[in-house]
Homo-oligomer: A and B are copies of this chain.
Amino acid sequence: MLTRVKQVHHYGRQLATLDTASKNEALEAIALALEAAQDDILAANTTDCEQARRDQLPGPLYARLELSPSKLAAAIAGVRQVASLADPIGHIQLHRELDRDLTLKRVTCPLGVLGVIFEARPDAVMQISALAIKSGNGVILKGGHEASQSCRAIVSAIQQGLRKSVVPPDAVALLTRRTEIMELLTLDEWVDLIIPRGSNDFVRFIQANTSIPVLGHADGICHLYVDQFADVDQAVAIAVDAKTQYPAACNAIETLLVHQEIAPQFLPKLATAMTAKGVELRGDDLCRQIVSIAAANEDDWATEYCDLILAVKIVPSIGAALGHIDTYGSGHTEAIVTDDGAIAAEFLAKVDAAGVFHNCSTRFADGFRYGFGAEVGISTHKLPPRGPVGLEGLVTYKYLLQGQGHIVQDYTGSHPRPFTHHDY
């Protein structure tokens, strides 16, 4: 396998220095090749789906595996959409004269090789390959066993398309054997970023088993804090959206924190609205004195339900809400509803999470909604990139310094030449 990874590294380096037009032409060639191979891809997917039914693959996984003609068409449209995004490479982030004729630039450049590991979802192969090419990176794809025929047909079409472009087809490689995941995770000298696409447990496993940087997040335990000075109807609407609009999403809320002063007006309205949406509420003792709901225990505060269940807790102050979020939050997205500007400002300043929201749903935490044009993943790491990550998460930068024979000796000693440090 190392040979193939080195090959991706090698051909990825050729891709790294291509201009925007060449990369976009390659994306169009891929889109055309995928359209031409449509029947083969759908037939391969049918084979995978038949096997998956025999293996009794769980429903949600099966749904992600299945490629309808319209889902395939949407994925091909997605490839063309990536071509329309701005090229993230070659941006000059800093341009500074250090001294006369000694000029420093900081310029964005590709990372090198991306390792993408995913469960089911053959459509992700098309999306991530397009994003890798646009950002000038080689890419090693490791699909789940359940999608092996689909992935093979798709990657074969992608490489077919690349043969009609200047992008080397071997800058994209597919690994097919399950044992290759563990080997891939050890290749920190050759692989620059791992992108896992799958369940929380899957991401946690990847994170625990590699020293390569991982773009992603395991948990998404998001809170909504309904402050004493919240508009009750607004708070109910935001809570319903944040819980029910897509309960399996990582940016859905799991726990609602309610200020004790507003709880008697808020909780009955909340319970009515949530019950109508089929949401089970689990509350602490104080909640249950106001509304008749199930009891929450300590585990509820630390659980990402991914389902129509919401834990509810009454707090005496914003300080208590901040303390609860600091203890149980996963650093993903946290929100407050309040009409008091000072309290909102305190919440925005003090909560340490990738996203901190005021008077809106946590479900807005998303690369497309933020206007990034694409989303590679959402990171809950402290270091950047943090939060929803677009194409810029697939690039790094290097410093280019150009002189005319400049040496450091002249800038040291008893009469050092001064630097000018003048930004252009």
A interface residues, Cβ below 8 angstroms from B:
13, 16-17, 96, 98, 102, 104, 109, 111-112, 192-193, 207, 211, 213, 231, 234, 237-238, 240-242, 245-246, 326, 344, 348-350, 352-361, 363-365, 369-371, 381-384, 386-388, 396-409, 411-412, 419, 421
Tell me, rounded to whole Å, the shortest Cβ–Cβ distance linking A170 to chain B. Answer: 17
**With A and B bound together, what is the CA distance between A407 and B273 in angstroms?**
15
Q: Which residue of B lies closest to A93 (CB)?
A: B384
| Cβ–Cβ contact A245 & B401, under 8 A | no
| Cβ–Cβ contact A360 & B401, under 8 A | yes
| Cβ–Cβ contact A238 & B398, under 8 A | no
| Chain B residues with CB below 8 A from A386, complex form | 396-398
Q: Could you list 15 further interchain pairs (A-B, Cβ under 8 angstroms) beyond the known A360-B402, A365-B399?
A: A13-B350, A13-B352, A16-B352, A17-B350, A104-B370, A112-B382, A211-B211, A237-B405, A241-B407, A357-B400, A359-B404, A359-B405, A359-B406, A371-B419, A388-B399
**With A and B bound together, what is the CA distance between A344 and B400 in angstroms?**
11
**With A and B bound together, what is the CA distance between A33 and B161 in angstroms?**
68
CB contact between A397 and one of B104, B364, B384, B404 (< 8 Å): that residue: B384
Known: A17-B349, A361-B408, A382-B111. A399 touches B387 (CB 8 A): yes
Known: A98-B370, A399-B370. A408 touches B192 (CB 8 A): no
| Cβ–Cβ contact A396 & B383, under 8 A | yes
Q: Which residue of B lies closest to A423 (CB)?
A: B371
Chain multiplicity (copies): 2
Tell me, rounded to whole Å, the shortest Cβ–Cβ distance linking A415 to chain B. Answer: 16
| Cβ–Cβ contact A405 & B355, under 8 A | no
Tell me, rounded to whole Å, the shortest Cβ–Cβ distance linking A167 to chain B. Answer: 16
Known: A104-B370, A370-B96. A353 touches B398 (CB 8 A): yes
Tell me, rounded to whole Å, the shortest Cβ–Cβ distance linking A235 to chain B. Answer: 9
**With A and B bound together, what is the CA distance between A241 and B96 in angstroms?**
22
| Chain B residues with CB below 8 A from A234, complex form | 405
| Chain B residues with CB below 8 A from A359, complex form | 402-406
A to B CB contacts below 8 Å, 27 in the list: A17-B350, A98-B371, A104-B370, A104-B371, A111-B382, A112-B382, A207-B211, A211-B211, A213-B381, A213-B382, A234-B405, A237-B405, A238-B407, A240-B407, A241-B407, A241-B408, A241-B409, A242-B407, A245-B412, A358-B402, A359-B404, A359-B405, A360-B404, A360-B407, A361-B406, A364-B403, A364-B406
| Cβ–Cβ contact A369 & B402, under 8 A | no
Tell me, rounded to whole Å, the shortest Cβ–Cβ distance linking A147 to chain B. Answer: 27
| Cβ–Cβ contact A419 & B369, under 8 A | yes
| Chain B residues with CB below 8 A from A193, complex form | 382-383
**With A and B bound together, what is the CA distance between A400 and B386 in angstroms?**
12
| Cβ–Cβ contact A102 & B360, under 8 A | yes
| Cβ–Cβ contact B355 & A401, under 8 A | yes
